[in-house]
Amino acid sequence: MRIALIGYGEVGRILAEDLRAHALTAFDTKLDSEAGRPLRAHAAQHGVALAATHAQAVAGAELVVSAVTASQAVAVAQACAPALAPGACFLDFNSASPGAKTRAAGVVDGAGGRYVEGAVMTSVPPHRIRVPLLLGGPHAAALAPVLAALGFAPKVASAQLGVASATKMCRSVMIKGLEAMVIESLASARHYGVEDAVLASLAETFPGIDWEPQAAYFFQRVIEHGRRRSEEVREVAQTVREAGLEPWSAAGTAQRQAWMADLADAGVFGPRGGPGFARSADWRTEADRLLRHLRQPE
C-alpha cells in the first residue's frame, strides 16, 4: 500500500518503522531545518521517501496519516486536500477538538477524499502501531479492517464525527491534568521536604497506583513532550468550551505543560538529547533541577 505520513515526529517515525513493508512517503515542516537532521537520518535508515511539500507527499497515496501538533490539524487537512487521490483515506491521528475534526473532514471530503477521525487513547511508544485507536465518521467502518490488516488496533466509535475525539479529549482533561498536578504537587513537596509524607498519603488514598514510577514517568513525558501536550490540552480546553463549560482546569494544565516545555527548551533539564535530559528513574532529580532554576536570581 502507498502510505503518506504527514508529520515525522515521534509518532510518525514509530509508524514508519512498523509500516516499513509498504511504500512510505513522509513530510514534516522541520525537514529542511537543523532540527530535521535526525528525521532525515531516520527516513534514510528505514527507506522512507521524503517529500518537499504536503501535496508531494500525498500525491498517489491510498492512505494518508496526519500526525502533527494539535493546532495544525485543520491546516494540514487544507494543505493536503487538493492533492489527494480520489477516494484516498485521510486518517487524522491528531488530538483535536470535535469541532476541529469536523472542519477538517469538510475540507477532505469536499476534495474527494475520505476523512476518518482517529483518537489515540494512550501513549503511543509502549504500544507502537498497536496503540488503542478509536475511529469516527462515515468512512470509519470501511477503513477499520484495512488498518487492522496493516497492524493497527482500530475500534469504530461511531459513524458520527466528533464522538471518537470527544472521548479522547474528555479523558485528557484527567490524564494531562494529572500530569500537571503531580509535577506541581511533588515539586512543591520536595521544596518543603514533605515528599515522602505526601507520597505515603497518596498511596493510602489511591492504593492501585505505584506513585514513585508514575511520578517519574509523568516528569519525563512532560519535560520531553510538554510543547505537544500543551497544544493538545488547548484543544481539550476548546472541547470543554464546545460543551458550554469554562475550561478552568484544562486551561491551567495547558499553561503548566507549556511552562515545562519552555524550561526544557532553556536547558533546565539538561541539553535535549543529552544523557541527563529527562532520563532519571527518580522524579526527584528533575524536581531538584526545576527548584534550582527557580531559586536563581533573575
Predicted model pTM: 0.87
The rounded Cα 211 to chain-centroid distance in angstroms is 23
- How much is the pLDDT for 298? 64
137 phi and psi angles, rounded to 5 deg: 110, 165
- Rg for the chain (alpha carbons), in Å? 20
Q: Which residues contact 259 (CB under 8 A, 6 or more apart)?
A: 226
Using alpha carbons, list the distances in angstroms from residue 10 to 7, 107, 120, 124, 231.
9, 26, 14, 9, 15
**196-173-287 Cα angle (round to 5):** 30
Q: Which residues contact 239 (CB under 8 A, 6 or more apart)?
A: 97, 98, 99, 165, 166, 169, 170
Return the beta strands (E) in the chain as ranges.
2-6, 23-27, 49-50, 63-66, 89-92, 114-120, 132-136, 153-158
Is beta strand 63-66 parallel, antiparallel or unpaired with respect to 49-50?
unpaired
Which domains, from first to last, does the chain contain? Answer: 2-160 (3.40.50.720), 165-295 (1.10.1040.10)
| Tens-digit pLDDT string for the chain (298 aa) | 999 999 999 999 999 999 999 999 999 999 999 989 999 999 999 999 999 999 999 999 999 999 998 889 999 999 999 999 999 999 999 999 999 999 999 999 999 999 999 999 998 999 999 999 999 999 999 999 999 999 999 999 999 999 999 999 999 999 999 999 999 999 999 999 999 999 999 999 999 999 999 999 999 999 998 998 999 999 999 999 999 999 999 999 999 999 999 999 999 998 887 777 887 889 999 999 999 999 987 6
CA distance 78 to 68: 13
Among 14, 5, 48, smallest CA distance to 127 is for: 14
C-alpha cell read off for 96: 483535536
Give the SS3 label for residue 153: strand
- The per-residue pLDDT for 123 is 87
pLDDT score, position 2: 97
